[in-house]
Amino acid sequence: MQWSANCGTLYNDLPLVERFGAAAASGFSYAEMWSPFPDEKTLISPIVASGAQLVGFLFEPGDMLAGDRGILNVAGREDECLKLFSRAVRFAVATGARHITALVGNTVADREAELSRAADTLRRACATTEPAGLTIVVEALNSFDTPNYALHDAEEAAEFVRSIDRPGVRLLLDIYHVAREGGDPVVTIRRVADVLAHVHFADWPGRGAPGTGELDFEAIVLTLTESGYHGFVGIEYLTGGATDASLRWLPRHLRAAPVERAFRAPTTRARTT
């Protein structure tokens, strides 16, 4: 497992084009971002030159400030989504990104029908993403922060991914959203490990840095290790100020090191959940 600095929440006192270089200057080898669209072409050179390899980015989410959380479930926008996936693939190839995060959308009227539509669109998108070696990752968002979103439960999101039955569609597990929804991250990791392809880290309550809330990140990392997860762990928390000051929990020499080294994570330990 390797850290990835999420430039959607970190370094947000800087213009987006400068955040990737700031992540590299802080010691990170990998970074990720929210949606680069519609100005993705202007971001390619700064990202490539930053020194931090882009891991992934968010597919077109709609107007997030207005509450949108994806467009995959919206009737009549299927062909638009497929064109946007082609555009996303071009950006991924240009930057070396490995995955595309796809939010399924807010429920409009008929949740089950809309999830079926989103699943079908994702299957069709795989014809473009899989030949490019890209993985689409689907995320559950908690019902308190995003009450209208169509997938609130991580295990239900994992079932949605399994129903698509494509090697290029997997799950993004956000530890904060799991905890905010009332779940146990350790238990959830074990139940979704077969489709897990990316992880996001933030503490709860508060969505701050590890150590600011109540979550046992040592146990979480140990469970990820035991489950055989070898992907990236995206640091996606609200800094509450300067990013570098918020990173005291992760010493600089560990930011490019395997995630396991940041925690004690013994190989054996008596533990109950």
Residue 266 pLDDT greater than 80, yes or no: no
Residue 188 pLDDT greater than 60, yes or no: yes
What is the residue-averaged pLDDT of the chain?
95
HSE-CB for 168 with a 13 A CA cutoff: 20
Per-residue pLDDT reduced to its tens digit, 120-137: 999 999 999 999 999 999
Q: Which residues are catalytic?
A: 139, 236
What is the spatial distance between Cα 73 and Cα 179, in angstroms, rounded to a whole number?
25
Q: Are 35 and 267 in contact (CB under 8 A)?
A: no
Domain residues of the chain, as ranges?
2-262
Per-residue pLDDT reduced to its tens digit, 206-220: 999 999 999 999 999
Residue 265 pLDDT greater than 60, yes or no: no
Multiple choice CATH, 2-262, 3.20.20.150, 3.40.470.10, 3.20.10.10, 3.40.50.2000: 3.20.20.150
Provide the whole-model pTM: 0.94
Question: What is the pLDDT averaged over residues 255-262?
Answer: 95
Q: Are 117 and 107 in contact (CB under 8 A)?
A: no
